[in-house]
Amino acid sequence: MAECIYHQLKSQPTWILILLSLGSISLLKLSFSIIIWVYVNFIRPGKNLKKYGSWALITGPTDGIGKAFAFQLARKGLNLVLVGRNPDKLKEVSESIKSKSGSTQIKNVVVDFSGDLDDGVSRIKEAIEGLDVGLLINNVGVSYPYARFFHEVDEKLLSDLIKVNIEGTTKVTQAVLPAMVKRKKGAIVNIGSGAAIVIPSDPLYSVYAATKAYVDQFSRCLYVEYKNSGIDVQCQVPLYVATKMASIKRSSFFVPSTDGYARAALRWIGYEPRCTPYWPHSILWALANSLPESAIDAWRLKFCLAIRKRGQLKDSKKIE
Ligand SMILES: NC(=O)c1ccc[n+]([C@@H]2O[C@H](COP(=O)([O-])OP(=O)(O)OC[C@H]3O[C@@H](n4cnc5c(N)ncnc54)[C@H](OP(=O)(O)O)[C@@H]3O)[C@@H](O)[C@H]2O)c1
């Protein structure tokens, strides 16, 4: 049989042999990628997060993805520093966590990331003094209330986007990192967005997408800077997750619940510098990569113009 194939191949012209070889290499590459994808999404075990330290600090833990991270990390046996703007919501979340995972120690720090950030960061530094904070989840983030052109973005929204998404992430990292460097261990997870990485543009959300592009590049550079110091830096890239920010109440196959996202997210901590932890999102990412950018740009613009129209209609009803 093998001899027969060999003779068949030998009798083919060179150009067919070249084409066959190229085809086989592509097929091999594809099969290899699929095997790796199955392994990292379904087989590879998550890391023992307690090995980084006994405390985790989470920003924006009072709602959405951050809240789900807080519950899941407590379940894994980590103590928590919760950094949020609303003291009542912080109290409610920490009491609810304690009622489920009684042994979890929790420290609440009230910081409004759109307010006096330096003051907030010094309160964070005070709170973590002497604690073994091995995991930092830079989750806090804001987006537009609804899609709008850049010239329609008012000063307050512009300032909040930059302060919360960029300055907040940067300054909290700078507050937590020195102790990790000293202990030569730690993990930092920065929550990016598909808006900056998966799709080529996010029209009518330009500043939000640009702040997340900052988070992505910031994370990658830190990953390289600190990987030899025992610190794993990662940018997680969620696509839509059912939260108030996304204005999606119900989860579905491609839109996970916050718990579904956080469960997947914990399994990726400490591995690749950039990932989308929820596997159906990675299918959408691959699909986006296979389409022409101009087609995605055009689809996204149409989609965001429709969101803008709906948002404007709601606003006008509120005024009436
Ligand atoms: N949901 C998605 O589809 C999606 C997709 C890609 C990326 N992301 C990213 O995922 C992260 C979490 O988003 P999410 O959807 O979970 O949002 P969310 O449900 O709106 O929750 C945001 C959290 O951040 C807090 N927060 C907002 N502004 C703050 C401020 N000025 N100071 C202190 N805390 C503040 C909120 O506090 P309150 O409880 O007081 O409001 C809440 O705890 C963000 O970085 C977002 O960009 C989300």
Q: What is the pLDDT along the chain (320 residues), one digit of tens a residue?
A: 778 888 888 888 889 989 999 999 999 999 999 999 999 999 999 999 999 999 999 999 999 999 999 999 999 999 999 999 999 999 999 999 999 988 999 999 999 999 999 999 999 999 999 999 999 999 999 999 999 999 999 999 999 999 999 999 999 999 999 999 999 999 999 999 999 999 999 999 999 999 999 999 999 999 999 999 999 999 999 999 999 999 898 999 999 999 999 999 999 999 999 999 999 999 999 999 999 999 999 999 999 999 999 999 988 887 76
Residues 183-230: pLDDT tens digits? 999 999 999 999 999 999 999 999 999 999 999 999 999 999 999 999
pLDDT of res. 11 = 86
pLDDT of 298: 98
Global confidence as pTM: 0.95
Distance 50 CA to ligand 1 centre (A): 25
- Residue with CA nearest ligand 1 atom 7: 193
Joined tokens for residue 271: 């591995």
Q: Is the CB of 183 under 6 A from ligand 1?
A: no
- The CATH number of 52-310, from 3.30.465.10, 3.40.190.10, 2.60.40.2550, 3.40.50.720, is 3.40.50.720
**C-beta 114 within 6 A of ligand 1:** yes
Assess whether 208 carries a catalytic annotation: yes
Q: Tell me what pLDDT residue 80 has.
A: 98
The finding on whether 256 has its CB within 6 A of some atom of ligand 1 is no
pLDDT at 245: 96
CB neighbour class for 35 (10 Å; exposed up to 12, middle 13-18, buried from 19): exposed
Q: CA triplet 139, 141, 144: central angle to 5 degrees?
A: 155
Q: Which amino acid is at 83?
A: V
The structure tokens listed for 235 are: 């940018």
Q: What is the largest CA-CA distance in the chain?
A: 83
Cβ–ligand 1 distance for 90 under 6 Å, the answer no
Of all atoms in ligand 1, which is nearest to the CA of residue 195? 6
**Residue whose CA lies nearest to ligand 1 atom number 44:** 141
Query: For residue 187, which phi and psi values (nearest 5 degrees)?
Result: -135, 135
Q: What is the model's pLDDT at position 101?
A: 85
Catalytic residue (choose from 144, 146, 205, 208): 208
* Domain boundaries along the sequence of the chain: 52-310
Asked if residue 121 has its Cβ within 6 Å of ligand 1, the reply is: no
